[in-house]
Amino acid sequence: MRNLRINKNADGFSVVEFLISMTIFLVLLGSAASLFSKSLGTRQRESSRTDALTSAQAALNVISRELSNSGFGLTNNGIVSADSNTQKLHFVANIVNTNNVLTDRGENITYFFDSTTKSILRYDANANGNNSPQTSVIINRISSVDFRYFNYSGSNSNPTITDTPTVGTGRVRVTITVDLEDVQGQVKNQKVKLVSDVTLRNSDYMLQQY
């Protein structure tokens, strides 16, 4: 029987070399997977932020448009002081201009924050005609809404800022803070904040500027 010779110089990987190669490959694969995961997380976070900003901006636009008409056709700024604070804003306007009878759609509006649903709600006392109210959601998934009132005295251009409105309120600052959805691999409980200063063009102070 012929004796087989083993060529110790034959090409190939030893077990140790193979294990080292596999280890390096797995490390590189893990790094690539981690980078890909972070990239997806960043994209999801930015998408969530964009959606939140878009929704909050739309809500601010709706509130600002209606609030700026507060007091239209009346002899005051239209804000119901006794029913307004930092989380609730009640105002009226005689938009249809029918003998100071505020019974038409959009003439008696209240915006308020509902902590249970984390939403800003719009209450229209005459949405479907006289004494037929309707409540609708303006934006949800928010953490807070804040109303601040800029109160002017006569022609004084330096207002005082308070938590409640007065007969001299000429501007309202609306701040909406929106909760962002948690994204895996990203910082949790992130928020975005949008602020809008709404001028009441029918207030005494603003009318004096024309």
Instruction: Give 44-67 pLDDT, tens digit per residue.
Output: 666 667 777 787 888 899 999 999
Instruction: Give 133-182 pLDDT, tens digit per residue.
Output: 899 998 887 888 999 999 998 766 789 999 999 999 999 999 998 877 76
Quote the mean pLDDT of the chain. Answer: 81
What is the C-alpha to C-alpha distance for residues 145 and 63, in angstroms, rounded to an integer?
12
Q: What is the pLDDT at residue 153?
A: 83
What is the C-alpha to C-alpha distance for residues 113 and 138, in angstroms, rounded to an integer?
10
Question: Rounded to two decimals, what is the model's pTM?
Answer: 0.73
Sketch the domain layout of the chain as residue ranges. 41-207
Considering only CA atoms, which of 134, 175, 149, 135 is closest in space to residue 81?
149
Q: How confident is the model at residue 28 (pLDDT cuts 50, 70, 90)?
A: confident
Compute the CA torsion angle 160, 163, 166, 171 (nearest 10 deg).
60
Q: What is the pLDDT at residue 57?
A: 86
What is the C-alpha to C-alpha distance for residues 169 and 190, in angstroms, rounded to an integer?
33
Considering only CA atoms, which of 207, 202, 163, 178 is closest in space to residue 67?
202
